[in-house]
Structure 1
C-alpha cells in the first residue's frame, strides 16, 4: 500500500513580496510596548503564585495519591498486555521451500489408497490415533507413488457422512502439491478390481522403512493403507520430507469455501464484540470423558452412563479405568469449574470474551454453570452464527470441527483443557504462523492445586494467582525446539513419548536468522 503525502518543502507565499517596508522607529516602539507588557504579566503571575503558596490547590498527600494511582494504572496496563501478547518470537518465520536437492515428482503408475477415519483432527494431522493426509502425502513421495484422494470413514463415533471435498478444497490440494506428489481424485477404472496389497505400516517409521516397502510394487500396482495413525517418525527424517509435511498441512489442506467463509465471519464477529478473545478447547465431551474414564465432578448416574459407553465401544481397549488415578496423573480434561479457576488465577477479567471450541458439553448448562458464573461472556458457534448459516453443518461433526479450528487459529489466546489431537494441531499451526499465544495447562500440577483449594489449604487470590502464573510461565507457546523422547525408555516405545512434529514443527519448518538454541 502506498501513501501519497504532500511536499515537506517550505515555500514563501507570493503575497509576502507585496508587504510594506517597516521603519526602525516602528520597530523600537513595538519592542518597548512588548517589554512593558511582559513586566505586567510577571507581577501578576507572582501575586498568583504567592496566593497559591498560602492556599495550595493540592496537598502533598493528594499528589502522592495521584502518583500511586498512575503507577497502578501502568502496572494494570502492563499486566493486561502480558495476558494477551504473544511470547517473544522475533526473527522466526515459516520456511517450507524445498532444498536445491529436491526434484519434481513423476507420474508414477502405481497408487496408494487411504482410508482416514476419525474426526477432523486426525484427518489434518495424523497425531496419535489415526494418521493424517499430510503424512500420507510424504509416504507417497518416498515410495514414488500416486496418492488417491483419501476416503473418510463414515462408521466412526460421529457418524459423519462428509466426503473429502465437503471439508477441503480438493482442487487446491491437488494443484498445490503437483510438484511434490501426483494426486488423483479416484483410482483408474481398470485398477478398481485388481488385487491390492493391504498394509498396516509400522508406526513412527523413517525413510529407510518405506524405501524397503517399495518391494511391494513388484507384485502389486495398488497399496491400500487401512490404518494410518502416526505412520511417519517425528524426528530424524530428511529436511525435504519434513517440509513437505508442512506444505501439505499448512498450504495444500485448505478448507472448502463454505467452511472458510463462515469461519472468517465468526472471527470478525468475535472481534467486533470485544476486540480480543480466547478460544477455549473445552474437551468436556461425552466421548472424551468416557474414553479417558474421567468422572470427577459427575453424578453416579453420569459416571455409569460413561462406563457403559466405554464398555460397548469395541475399539477402545481400556475398559476398567480408575478415575482418581487418571485425574491425579494429569490425564483428565479440566472440568469447566477448574478452567474458570485457572483463567481467573492467570489474571483474565470476568468480562473476557471466550469462544468454546468443542462439541456438545457433557451435562450441558448444569456443568457449564460453574464456568459461566466466573466468565459470563461465553459464546459458542451456535450463538455467533445464525441458524441459517449453520444449517449445512448439522450432523457433520467434521465441518463444525473445521469452524472451531479456524476460530482457534484466529484467536488472541488458545487454551486447550486436554492435550488431544485437535489441541496439538492448533498449537503447531499457531507456532508456524508466528508463535501466537497458546497456554497449555499443567493438568497434573493444577490437580494438586485444586485439591489444596478443596481442603482449605489454599484460597483463591493473590497467592493462588502467583502460584498458577509461575507454573505456566514456560507453557505459553514461546519458541523452542521440539521435545525428544523421555529418558529411560528403550525400543520403539520411545517414539510414542516424543513431541509430535505437528505440535511443534520447529526447527524444520520454522527458521530464524539468530542461532538462539545452542
Structure 2
C-alpha cells in the first residue's frame, strides 16, 4: 500500500501544474480608456508575414497600431508566399465576424476597403521593428497626404515593454479573445482533444521542431547523415531571405541554438521521470527523415500520436494542404494539453507558452537546450553516469515549468535598439500587464 501511495505521489508531481499564486487574466481597459470613435477616412491595410503564430501576434500588434493611429483596420491579408505556400484567407483560419465584433469598442474593423478609396494612392510602410507609441504618433503625419496606409509586414512592429497598459491589454484582448479560429477548426480541434482524452487521462503536447525547414535554417546537422546534411545546406543556400549561409553546426548545438533531436527528447523525458506509457501528441509538421529519426523517440515512448492518427482522412481533407489551418489544430491541442514541451524556441513555442501563462500558468516545460547538450555529451563521453542523469536534468529544470514570473528584459550591457530585439517577447509572457491579482489590477 505504501509503495502504491509513493507511486501516486510521484505521478502527481510529474503532471502537477505550477502554482498560479492567485494570478489571473486581467485585460479589461482602465477607466482612462475611451471607446473607439469611428474613423471613416483613414484606412490601414496589412500584409501579415510568416507562419501562423507569427501572423497571429503580428495581427494583434496591428490592432493596437490602428488604435494608436486612429485608423480603420481592414481585415489583414495572410502570407501566401512563405515556405508553406498556403493560400488560406483570413476567414479560412479565423472567425472573421467574431474578430470584427469583439474589437468594436477598441478599433473599427472592416472586411475590405470601400470602393471609393480602392484606387487612391497608398503610403506603403515597413514600420520600424519594436517601436513605441511616440513612433506611431509621428506616423499619423501620413494622414495629411494619404487616406490609406499599407503595412507590408506585421511581425514585431510593437515594443515588448514601456507601452501604456491599455495598449498592452488591447494586444491581449486581440490575441486571446478576438482572434479566435474559424468554427470548423475550433470544433475539429476540440474533437481531437476529446479523442486524446479517451486514450489517456493526461497527455503531453510535444512541439517537435525536427522539420526540414527548421534544421536547414538553423544549420543543425547533429545526428544526420552526410547526404541529409548536404540536402539541408543546399536548401539554405537557395533560400534567398535566409541571410546566414555558412553555419557551424557544432557551435550551434553547443550554444543551445539547435532543436533537440528525437533521441535527445526521449532521453530528456525519461530523465524527468515520465514512463514509457505516457501519451505524447506530436504538434509539428513532417519530421525530417521520417521513421528513421522518429524511431529514436518512439523506441522509448511508443504511445505517440499525430493528428493524422486522431482524425479521419475526411476530416483532414479540406485543410491538409493548408499549413496555417493544420498548425491551428496543433495550437488548440497544445493549449489544452496537460503539459506542453517545445524542442526549440520558435514562434509557436513562445506564443503557446504565453497563452498557457494567460490561462492560469498551465505546465510548460521549456528545455534548457544548452545545459542538456552539455549533459548528453558528458554521458556519451563516459564522464557522467546514466544513473545520475535524472538528478541533473531535474535540477536544471526546477524553475522552467511555467510558474509566474515577470517578463524578462534584455541582457545587461546591451545598449541602443539592439536590446529591443533581445527582450523577452510580450506574447511569451504577458505578465504583469495582462496577468494580475485583484489587488494589483489597474482601474
Asked if the contact 2:51/2:79 (under 8 Å) is kept, the reply is no
Asked if the contact 1:91/1:514 (under 8 Å) is kept, the reply is no
1:495 to 408, 414, 420: 420
1:486 to 397, 411, 414: 411
Question: Using the alignment, how far apart are the partners of 1:304 and 1:282 within structure 2?
Answer: 22
Question: Using the alignment, how far apart are the partners of 2:46 and 2:165 within structure 1?
Answer: 24
2:89 to 160, 163, 166: 163
Deviation of residue 155 (structure 1)? 1.3
Q: Deviations over 1:355-383 (max 9, x none)?
A: 00000000000000000000000000000
1:289 to 185, 208, 215: 215
**1:59-70 residue pairs with structure 2 within 5 A?**
70=1
Q: Which runs of 5+ in 1 are unaligned?
A: 1-69, 126-131
2:241 to 294, 315, 335: 315
Deviation of residue 514 (structure 1)? 6.4
Q: Deviations over 1:417-473 (max 9, x none)?
A: 000000000000000000000000000000000101111222333x11111000000
Segment of structure 1 superposing worse, 202-211 or 409-418: 202-211
Structure whose CA Rg is larger: 1
Counterpart secondary structure, 2:18: coil
1:475 to 393, 400, 403: 400
Q: Deviations over 1:189-243 (max 9, x none)?
A: 1111111111111111111110111001001111111022211010110010000
Question: Using the alignment, how far apart are the partners of 1:196 and 1:106 within structure 2?
Answer: 23
Deviation of residue 512 (structure 1)? 1.5
**1:186-197 residue pairs with structure 2 within 5 A?**
186-197=112-123
Name the residue aligned to 1:27.
Answer: none
Counterpart secondary structure, 1:392: coil
**1:20-419 residue pairs with structure 2 within 5 A?**
70-108=1-39, 109-125=41-57, 132-419=58-345
TM-score normalised by structure 1 residue count = 0.84
Question: Using the alignment, how far apart are the partners of 1:460 and 1:374 within structure 2?
Answer: 15
Higher relative contact order (CA 8 A, sep 6+): 2
Asked if the contact 1:280/1:416 (under 8 Å) is kept, the reply is yes
How many pairs are equivalent? Answer: 439
Asked if the contact 2:17/2:363 (under 8 Å) is kept, the reply is yes
Deviation of residue 398 (structure 1)? 0.3
Segment of structure 1 superposing worse, 188-197 or 172-181: 188-197
Question: Using the alignment, how far apart are the partners of 2:384 and 2:53 within structure 1?
Answer: 38
Deviation of residue 304 (structure 1)? 0.4
1:450 corresponds to 2:376: yes
Question: Using the alignment, how far apart are the partners of 1:448 and 1:111 within structure 2?
Answer: 52
Question: Using the alignment, how far apart are the partners of 2:167 and 2:392 within structure 1?
Answer: 42
Question: Using the alignment, how far apart are the partners of 1:367 and 1:353 within structure 2?
Answer: 19
Q: Deviations over 1:79-126 (max 9, x none)?
A: 21111011011311111000011011111120111001221111112x
Question: Using the alignment, how far apart are the partners of 1:468 and 1:88 within structure 2?
Answer: 21
TM-score normalised by structure 2 residue count = 0.98
Q: Which runs of 5+ in 2 are unaligned?
A: none
Name the residue aligned to 1:37.
Answer: none
